[in-house]
Amino acid sequence: MTGALGSAPLRGLAVERQTLPALLELQAAASGDAPLLRIGGGAERTYADVCDVVARTAGMLANAGIRRGDRVAMMCENRPELLDLILGCAWLGAIAVPVNTALRGAQLFHVLDNSGARTIAVDSALLDVLGHAGRPAALEDVWALDGVPEQVPAGYRVSPPPEGADPVPPASVGPGDTLAILYTSGTTGPAKGVCCPHAQFYWWGMHVAEWLQIRSGDVLYTCLPLFHTNALNAFTQALVSGASYVIGPRFSASRFWSRAAEAGADVSYLLGAMVNILWAQPPSEADRAHSVRVALAPATSPRLIEPFRERFGTELVEGYGSTETNAAIGRRAGSRRIGGMGAVIDGFEALVVDEHDRPRPDGEAGELVLRHREPYAFATGYWRMPEKTVEAWRNLWFHTGDRVVRDPDGGFRFVDRLKDAIRRRGENISSFEVEQVLMEHRAVAAVAVFAVPSELSEDEVMAAVVAEEGMSLDPVEIMRHCEPRLAYFAIPRFLDMVDELPLTENGKIRKAALRERGVTPTTWDREAAGYELSR
């Protein structure tokens, strides 16, 4: 093993110690007084503080009847209690289920029902959302993190989280034990719960820390939500590197750089759309009044890499990974640019294959498939969806569903997605789920949801809708129908009212034809119409 702290991240750790409890104990012993965590306006916690709080949170969970393997859901904005609960579950051997705060209705019910969570911790402002989703059979307790309001959903047992627990020793969890179930939207069905083991988080931390050249004492700043893998894995990057982890408020283009400066950030995290939004801001003194030397920025337009560095003084590092995989393709900060995504990282294997999993030659597009050589570096499957697990991991490779090209120099370039997933502002959207909600509208006879290009990179959501015979469709009415039933980012921006949808000979909708046609002069545009979604 190399030095536990210092310029090199924690490498060479025995596989049985690649668990969150082992990492927390190891680093607390190595540098207990060094700062590790700061969230919002909360007090700074040292490595020793975090280890103690996590042990006490695990004690609280145990006193509440949570046992090894039980699922505990959390639906709240970034706050100390959210990370405490995730890490407390890891310490106890329970399984954390962080839930996207934008989920509504049937989507939220599915996540809670599929996970079988016994307890959910929520922001009080989201209790009403929880009540409208319907109560899954396994859900017993609801903990309101910021106080129990006078009105609570009928049929729920709502209370503050238990307090005053003594610390408990860590459970004997293994590197392959599930730490968290992270739900990611499917392309043709309900969201899938990705079973993420302890060692997967360790390897995420190791590889991205090396990409970004994180050093002991660095400050890592994120404004991304902890219910996604990006922000969670930034914590493990700090943990294995002896760095500090600071979580700020949700992204604001006008305040991002000033907030990063306040945090003393050396490293940060951006999505491709965020890069575009920052670039579009008028120049200001804040552009250079910070110390962010590097940012992980997947899905960034290549044309912005160098101009962004010149204007803001921050190097953007691209890479490729997914909730199911790891930081498998990328490059180190300061290295020669290879391909749009980078090159395959040591410890992983990547192929570009055709529909029969036969390798495609360099320069020809095909599906990217991945596998790992380190134990438990990938997710272990989809929770309670064995057929989806077999489908995705067939022939012992994980099938990403992404169409890429491998160049002769070993770099990979992203082309598009094979199926109908839509990615908007960093969120994966299932066209199937959006279609199901639209079909609930009494005036909708048929619908197809698909991606069209966005001005900010990534996708915008568009729907082609056929009205029931003798009925008319009002775009504003459709928006109002969607708002209580869909996450705001999944609600279509564009609506096309059409007489019929293009079909194949087998009666399937030809979405390729719809995508090719895209936005037309008759398309209704929510933003152009000035319709603002409520959040």
For the 200-417 domain, the top CATH level (class) is alpha beta
- DSSP letter at 374 equals S
Cβ contact 133:112 at 8 Å: yes
Q: Which helix (H) or strand (E) holds 438?
A: helix 431-439
The residues, ordered by sequence, that sit 6+ positions from 521 with a Cβ below 8 Å of its Cβ are none
Report pLDDT for 245.
98
Q: CATH number of the domain at 19-183, out of 3.30.930.10, 3.30.390.10, 3.40.50.12780, 3.30.830.10?
A: 3.40.50.12780
Per CATH, the number for 421-525 is 3.30.300.30
Both structure tokens of 434: 């959006």
Instruction: Count how many Cα atoms sit within 13 Å of the Cα of residue 355 in the half-sphere of its side chain.
Output: 2
How much of the chain is helix, strand and coil, in % rounded to 5? 30, 25, 45
Residues 6+ apart with CB under 8 A from 480: none
Q: What is the pLDDT of residue 173?
A: 98
The mean pLDDT values, 10 residues at a time, for the chain of 535 residues are 43 95 96 94 92 98 97 96 98 97 93 97 96 94 94 91 94 98 76 97 96 96 94 97 96 96 97 84 95 93 88 95 96 78 95 97 95 97 97 97 91 80 79 87 91 84 93 94 93 95 71 90 94 85
Spatial distance between the Cα atoms of 474 and 465, rounded to a whole number of angstroms: 11
Break the chain into its structural domains and give their ranges: 19-183, 200-417, 421-525
Quote the radius of gyration of the chain (alpha carbons, Å): 23
What was the pLDDT predicted at 3?
Answer: 36
- What does the pLDDT read at residue 188? 56
**pTM: predicted TM-score of the whole model, two decimal places:** 0.86
Reported as type and span, the H/E element at residue 344 is: strand 342-344
Q: What is the pLDDT of residue 5?
A: 35
- Same fold: 200-417 with 421-525: no
Residue tagged 């968290």 (tokens): 180
Pairing relationship of beta strands 267-269 and 219-222 according to DSSP bridges: parallel
